[in-house]
Amino acid sequence: MSKSGLLAAAALCALAAVSSAPVLADASDAQVNAVIDEGLNRSEAMTTASALMDGIGPRLTNSENYRRAADWAVARFQSMGLQNVHREGFDFGLGWNVDSYRATMIAPRRIEMTVMPVAWSPPTNGTLRAPIIIAPVGNPGRFELWKQEWKGKLAGKIVLTSLPGTTQEPTKPLFRRLDDKEIGEADKFDLPSFDPAAMDRRVKRVTYPLDLSRFLKDEGALAQVKISYRDGKLVHGEGYNYRPGETLALPAFELAAEDYRRLVRLAKTGPASEIELSLAARFDDSTLQAQNLFGDIVGSDPKAGYVMAGGHFDSWIAGDGAADNGAGSAVVMEAARILSRLGVKPRRTIRFALWAGEEQGLLGSRAYIEQHLATRPVDPKLGGIAAYAAWANAWPITPKAGYNDLKAYFNLDNGGGKVRGIYAENNIAAEPMLKKWLSPFDGMGASRVVTSKTGGTDHVFMQAIGLPGYQFIQDPLDYDSRVHHSNLDTLDHMRGDDLRQAATIMAAMLLQAANSDKDLPRQPLPTKPVPTDPFKVTDPDE
Amino acid sequence: MSKSGLLAAAALCALAAVSSAPVLADASDAQVNAVIDEGLNRSEAMTTASALMDGIGPRLTNSENYRRAADWAVARFQSMGLQNVHREGFDFGLGWNVDSYRATMIAPRRIEMTVMPVAWSPPTNGTLRAPIIIAPVGNPGRFELWKQEWKGKLAGKIVLTSLPGTTQEPTKPLFRRLDDKEIGEADKFDLPSFDPAAMDRRVKRVTYPLDLSRFLKDEGALAQVKISYRDGKLVHGEGYNYRPGETLALPAFELAAEDYRRLVRLAKTGPASEIELSLAARFDDSTLQAQNLFGDIVGSDPKAGYVMAGGHFDSWIAGDGAADNGAGSAVVMEAARILSRLGVKPRRTIRFALWAGEEQGLLGSRAYIEQHLATRPVDPKLGGIAAYAAWANAWPITPKAGYNDLKAYFNLDNGGGKVRGIYAENNIAAEPMLKKWLSPFDGMGASRVVTSKTGGTDHVFMQAIGLPGYQFIQDPLDYDSRVHHSNLDTLDHMRGDDLRQAATIMAAMLLQAANSDKDLPRQPLPTKPVPTDPFKVTDPDE
């Protein structure tokens, strides 16, 4: 070995010694470097993700699998040395567990079809075998006319209720990363808008599947079959948005588009096919509560409040719930591991939250808000999307004692793609601090702060009551094109490099927010807006 | 109605009268217009394709389904009024019929996996349940080393023999059409090359799966599982290239990449998974012959020879055998219907051919050549790829009496995309006539004649003996990216507009070739080439 080689080896040993002992320097830049070292050189993001997705699998809220995953996550939080590790229950409703399912065309020939049961479908009690009938409803606004047309014709049949549509021609790449131009397009102030009728229509649309299911059952149909909205043999088991205390009336299945369309074509030219359907599923009323999960790194200043990282821990039923949102859950857990391992002593408490019920209307994060942050006057008997709609538009907002304690919330729920920056959610006053905190990650492509508001996940109700809830910009990968809620949502479509980058940045953002001299600027407490277009006349069929 | 409206209506009535009576004008341009009218305005291409793909399904050579499809096609040819409708058998081997199959992970949790049996796999006789073992072979050249490593360790196991690889990132569009630049890139003369060692290596590679299957059975393994080469839940059932008189020794399955990789990851971290596999399949030795199918429109000049359209009628086992090659079969049948319907009286006979055994080495078209066109000195006991290799490289070629009668052969086997032109297969002398015949279809984007040679389908052995066998250029659509041999190869991924365009052009090309004053120029009878690189030393591991 040459002399320079020896020197290099000595330097490596010194580095190793530094790395193995937690770094507790006060200097923020050194702490960020320690986070980067731990997060990138000793990442456990993918092993955590694999334990969750491969070992446990999909985690429908209040299913046995969700509770199994919750036990595992609580044990992980405890083994990291987090404090105040606990669960907080909230009213949810029946659990639903699926054991096995299958769909086979029997006549005119045998085909193993690709299928998912629709979540909260009753079981078939063995194998159903019956001829199909093609009775597509089309626009839900036509439902009353459709009922008149099909009344008395569906008994003993398996009813195909979707229009077959036509095959997609995927002329854009399925997998992509954002370029600067695309990120730049999100850097705009979104004018607030308020259209009271729009939410009413949305509520009506999502209650329609239950009405349809009940009609089919009353008519003596044996099962309902709908088409996947994506082709390429992707299935999801979507089609019913859970309402507390209710379930679909009739076994319901989502068939791969190719299999569904073949049935429709065969029915056009010959006698309708006979198919076999089976679903072994169990409703579970042993508990009607769902569980949010928490762990803290307690801050040194009890009056400084807390910062929080979160992602929803529940998933949909297809695949293993990886991109949505095993990825975000694994990132939150890995950020907790990084900061625990480094033994940081932040000024503010750092809280790690794993939410339930997101897929049913952000119910877990809403429950946390109602328990700790603020209330809105909402009928507690409403559930699902109706509860969502009501909560987002109920006035006034009444802050609770904890309202001022939450200084920053960082959410991750846009799949497994690496972090590219953060949305400022129209809070232009917060942008300078967010920029400063992200600036160390410019070289990782993650430093952009854009003004736009975003929706659809657990920071939304915090923003809706004026609290600093933020969501990261992430590379989309193949989230929207094929992975989201589909049977492809497995760990295979995660990228280890992306997960460890995201976890590292999440940890660093938490640490900076927890130690910051100043709180993130807030927007004023929201008050009831006037309708954006007071002269709007709504199309009743819309 | 205005006067001009009345005139327009009268013109439409006149047009309708012309259209409903077959057009028998001698003028070639008028005949081409009649073909276009019949092919585009009264197309039956998609109903024919649906009857074949939806109603009958995949057509593995010498399976019950192939014979069912053959009966249907022969009846169609007869009902069109074709003459000499008949079958020609050739020695093939055992049939293989699949009834049902399933793969389920049982432990550590239950997952319905996506699977296809490998063609010519023996059945499982009920459901197999066993722990898996990960024993990837990697490079087939390592097989002997691998056997030493795994001997005595596989009894009672389901053996996973593939490397898991990593998930693809599909950054190019799955679906595409050719632009002029891409077509232009095929307009080049391919220098002939001859590398005797290359074919030997290829033969060795494809015999390896049988050796592996026998080793696994001797070791007491219960089943073999391999990974799909595409991800996104696509499965194919590939992995064994049939050899006459032989079958796989052990039940073999191809798992979706996502399901395979999950098993590998779980085996790395915990006890290996237990899985259940079932395959109900039947070998059939009731006939060992496969069948090519034919029908003619007999020409007016018995000395003028014949022209022929063809496509292979057999398919692989996944999906419904649509793009490969139900599309080509439907196009050939629709071209026959168009020309029959028009009552054309060509100078040369027009023959329509549907080949068997293409997927096992162009065996059907080779049998036709041996029966009618020319022979090569090949051991008749060789099968599959070995027979293919031997036949392509055996000398001398001995023409038969019928050698001079085949004046043109047009093959279609590049999926369901529309025709964009034709490959001249290095026969530059034929280009002017091909250009002339295609020129009416310039407005349909189909008039390009490019010089390149193409391989892999039933014109190849005709070209290999100096006969004018041609293959059309077609838009690829999503053939290579996801449809070819996969469970997505269903009618959904066909385009009705593309099929009717292709059938119309096929019909017009046949009619022009059948009525042409001059024969298409031929190349000289091929003689044994010398190796392109006489100094080449082959890597034994390649």
Cβ contact A57–B111 (<8 Å): yes
The beta-carbon neighbor of A492 closest among B100, B109, B257 is B257
For residue A239, the distance in angstroms to the closest alpha carbon of chain B comes to 20
Cβ contact B101–A112 (<8 Å): yes
Pairing verdict, β B469-474 and A419-423: unpaired
Cβ contact A233–B487 (<8 Å): yes
Scanning B136-155 for CB atoms below 8 A from A yields none
Q: Does B353 touch chain A (CB under 8 A)?
A: no
Sign of the four-CA dihedral A362, A364, A367, A369: negative
For residue A474, the distance in angstroms to the closest alpha carbon of chain B comes to 16
Per-residue DSSP letter, A476: -
Beta strands (DSSP E) in B92-216 are: 95-107, 111-112, 115-117, 127-134, 158-160
pLDDT tens digit sequence for A280-290:
999 999 999 99
**What confidence category does residue B542 fall into, taking pLDDT thresholds of 50, 70 and 90?**
low
Q: Is A114 left (phi over 0), alpha (psi -120 to 50) or beta?
A: beta
**A279 to chain B: nearest residue by CA?**
B112
Instruction: Look at residue A9 and tell me whether its pLDDT is greater than 60.
Output: no
For residue A169, the distance in angstroms to the closest alpha carbon of chain B comes to 6
pLDDT tens digit sequence for B438-476:
999 999 999 999 999 999 999 999 999 999 999 999 999
For residue B342, the distance in angstroms to the closest alpha carbon of chain A comes to 26
Q: Which two tokens stand for residue A5?
A: 């080689």
**Cα(B434)–Cα(B452) distance, rounded to whole angstroms?**
14
Tell me what pLDDT residue B241 has: 76
Instruction: Look at residue B532 and tell me whether its pLDDT is greater than 50.
Output: yes
For residue B60, the distance in angstroms to the closest alpha carbon of chain A comes to 15
Tell me what pLDDT residue B1 has: 35
Cβ contact A109–B488 (<8 Å): no
A to B CB pairs, distance under 8 Å: 123
| Residue-wise burial string across B67-79, b where 16 or more C-beta atoms lie within 10 A, e elsewhere | bebbeebbebbee
pLDDT tens digit sequence for A292-337:
999 999 999 999 999 999 999 999 999 999 999 999 999 999 999 9
Cβ contact B51–A269 (<8 Å): yes
Q: Which of A224, A515, A207, A208 is nearest to A384 (CA)?
A: A207
Q: Does B55 touch chain A (CB under 8 A)?
A: yes
Judging contacts by C-beta atoms under 8 Å, the chain A residues touching residue B170 are 173-175, 478
Q: Do the beta carbons of residue B352 and residue B333 sit within 8 Å?
A: yes
pLDDT tens digit sequence for A492-541:
999 999 999 999 999 999 999 999 999 999 999 999 988 888 787 777 66
Judging contacts by C-beta atoms under 8 Å, the chain A residues touching residue B320 are 262
Q: Report the pLDDT averaged over residues B170-186.
A: 96
Cβ contact B482–A114 (<8 Å): no
The beta-carbon neighbor of A488 closest among B99, B171, B258 is B258
Q: Report the pLDDT averaged over residues A464-469.
A: 96
Write the DSSP string, A89-115.
Answer: EEE---EEEEEEEEEEEEESS-EEE-E
In words, the CATH class of domain A25-93+287-515 is alpha beta
Cβ contact B167–A492 (<8 Å): yes
ipTM: 0.92
Q: What value does the mean pLDDT of chain A take? A: 92
**Cα(B48)–Cα(B502) distance, rounded to whole angstroms?**
14
Q: Does A404 touch chain B (CB under 8 A)?
A: no
Cβ contact B176–A174 (<8 Å): no
Scanning B254-293 for CB atoms below 8 A from A yields 257-258, 261-262, 265-266, 269-270
For residue B171, the distance in angstroms to the closest alpha carbon of chain A comes to 5
Q: Does A47 touch chain B (CB under 8 A)?
A: yes
The verdict on domain B97-165+198-282 having CATH code 3.50.30.30 is yes
The residues, any chain, with a CB within 8 Å of residue B181's CB and separated by 6 or more, are: none
Phi, psi of B292 (to 5 degrees): -85, 155
Instruction: Look at residue A7 and tell me whether its pLDDT is greater than 80.
Output: no
**What confidence category does residue A200 fall into, taking pLDDT thresholds of 50, 70 and 90?**
confident
Chosen for mutation from A54, A64, A278, A279 (greatest number of chain B CBs closer than 10 Å) is A54
B26 or B506: whose pLDDT is higher?
Answer: B506
Chosen for mutation from A67, A116, A174, A231 (greatest number of chain B CBs closer than 10 Å) is A174
Tell me what pLDDT residue A331 has: 98
**What letter represents residue B404's amino acid?**
N
Q: Which two tokens stand for residue B296?
A: 């003619």
Tell me what pLDDT residue A251 has: 98
| % of chain A beyond a pLDDT of 90 | 82
**Cα(B489)–Cα(B455) distance, rounded to whole angstroms?**
21
**A64 to chain B: nearest residue by CA?**
B109
**B170 to chain A: nearest residue by CA?**
A175
Judging contacts by C-beta atoms under 8 Å, the chain B residues touching residue A257 are 492
Q: Report the pLDDT averaged over residues B114-121.
A: 97
The beta-carbon neighbor of A171 closest among B51, B175, B269 is B175
CB-facing half-sphere around the CA of B442: CA atoms within 13 A: 5
For residue A226, the distance in angstroms to the closest alpha carbon of chain B comes to 17
For residue B2, the distance in angstroms to the closest alpha carbon of chain A comes to 38
For residues A12, A13, A14, A20, the Cα torsion angle rounded to the nearest 10 degrees is 110
Q: Does B112 touch chain A (CB under 8 A)?
A: yes
Q: Report the pLDDT averaged over residues A144-160.
A: 97
For domain A97-166+177-282, give the CATH number.
Answer: 3.50.30.30
Judging contacts by C-beta atoms under 8 Å, the chain B residues touching residue A44 are none
Q: What angle do CA A206, A207, A210 make, to 5 degrees?
A: 120
Cβ contact B108–A55 (<8 Å): yes
Q: Do the beta carbons of residue A490 and residue A53 sit within 8 Å?
A: yes
The beta-carbon neighbor of A172 closest among B169, B173, B258 is B173
Q: Report the pLDDT averaged over residues B199-218.
A: 85
The beta-carbon neighbor of B109 closest among A57, A261, A492 is A57
Tell me what pLDDT residue A178 has: 97
pLDDT tens digit sequence for B51-91:
999 999 999 999 999 999 999 999 999 999 999 999 999 99
Q: Which two tokens stand for residue B266?
A: 């779980």
Q: Do the beta carbons of residue B431 and residue B470 sit within 8 Å?
A: no
Tell me what pLDDT residue B384 has: 72
Tell me what pLDDT residue A540 has: 62
**A272 to chain B: nearest residue by CA?**
B55
Scanning B300-319 for CB atoms below 8 A from A yields 319
Q: Report the pLDDT averaged over residues B221-247.
A: 92
Tell me what pLDDT residue B540 has: 62
Classified by CATH at the fold level, domain B24-93+287-515 comes out as Aminopeptidase (3.40.630)
Chosen for mutation from A100, A233, A479 (greatest number of chain B CBs closer than 10 Å) is A233
pLDDT tens digit sequence for B381-415:
777 777 788 888 899 999 999 999 999 999 999 99
Tell me what pLDDT residue B195 has: 80
Domain edges within chain B: 24-93+287-515, 97-165+198-282
Tell me what pLDDT residue B23 has: 40
Cβ contact A108–B55 (<8 Å): yes
For residue A123, the distance in angstroms to the closest alpha carbon of chain B comes to 16
Instruction: Look at residue A4 and tell me whether its pLDDT is greater than 50.
Output: no
Q: In what order do the strands lie in the sheet with A448-450?
A: A83-91, A289-297, A349-355, A306-312, A406-411, A469-474, A419-423, A448-450
Per DSSP, what are the bridge partners of residue B421?
B448, B473
Q: Does A212 touch chain B (CB under 8 A)?
A: no
**B100 to chain A: nearest residue by CA?**
A112
Tell me what pLDDT residue A542 has: 57
Tell me what pLDDT residue B507 has: 98
**Cα(A448)–Cα(A423) distance, rounded to whole angstroms?**
9
**Cα(B66)–Cα(B77) distance, rounded to whole angstroms?**
16
Instruction: Look at residue A23 and tell me whether its pLDDT is greater than 70.
Output: no
Sign of the four-CA dihedral B214, B215, B216, B220: positive
The beta-carbon neighbor of A170 closest among B102, B168, B173 is B173
DSSP3 helix / strand / coil % (chain A, rounded to 5): 40, 20, 40
**Cα(B243)–Cα(A514) distance, rounded to whole angstroms?**
69
**What confidence category does residue B136 fall into, taking pLDDT thresholds of 50, 70 and 90?**
very high
Instruction: Look at residue B7 and tell me whether its pLDDT is greater than 80.
Output: no
Q: Which two tokens stand for residue A471?
A: 């969501």
Q: Which two tokens stand for residue B10?
A: 């009268």
Q: How far is CA B204 from each of CA B153, B243, B244, B384, rounded to the nearest angstrom?
A: 26, 13, 16, 12
Q: Does A99 touch chain B (CB under 8 A)?
A: yes
**Cα(A232)–Cα(A436) distance, rounded to whole angstroms?**
44
pLDDT tens digit sequence for A184-199:
999 999 898 888 777 7
Chosen for mutation from B66, B68, B169, B177 (greatest number of chain A CBs closer than 10 Å) is B169
Instruction: Look at residue B243 and tell me whether its pLDDT is greater than 90.
Output: no
Q: Report the pLDDT averaged over residues B94-111.
A: 97
Tell me what pLDDT residue A91 has: 92
Cβ contact A167–B492 (<8 Å): yes
Q: Does A489 touch chain B (CB under 8 A)?
A: no
Q: Does B179 touch chain A (CB under 8 A)?
A: no
Q: What value does the mean pLDDT of chain B take? A: 92
**What letter represents residue B136's amino acid?**
P
Instruction: Look at residue A454 and tell me whether its pLDDT is greater than 90.
Output: yes
